[in-house]
Amino acid sequence: MATEIDRPAITAAIRALTHGETDTVALMATVVCEIHHAHPFADWTGFYRVTAPDLLKIGPYQGGHGCLVIPFSRGVCGAAARSGQIQNVSDVEAFPGHIACSSSTRSELVLPVWNGQGKLLGVLDLDSDTPTAFATADEDWLAPLLAEVFHDAV
Q: Is 118 left (phi over 0), alpha (psi -120 to 50) or beta?
A: left
pLDDT of residue 1: 45
pLDDT of residue 99: 82
Question: Is the separation of the CB atoms in 62 and 28 below 8 Å?
Answer: no
pLDDT of residue 11: 97
Distance CA(41)–CA(1), nearest Å, equals 10
pLDDT of residue 98: 81
pLDDT of residue 2: 46
Tell me the whole-structure pTM to 2 decimals: 0.95
SS3 at position 58: strand
Distance CA(59)–CA(94), nearest Å, equals 26
Residues of the chain with pLDDT under 70: 1-3
pLDDT of residue 97: 79
Domains in the chain: ranges and CATH = 7-149 (3.30.450.40)
pLDDT of residue 4: 76
Backbone angles phi, psi at 90, to 5 degrees: -75, -25
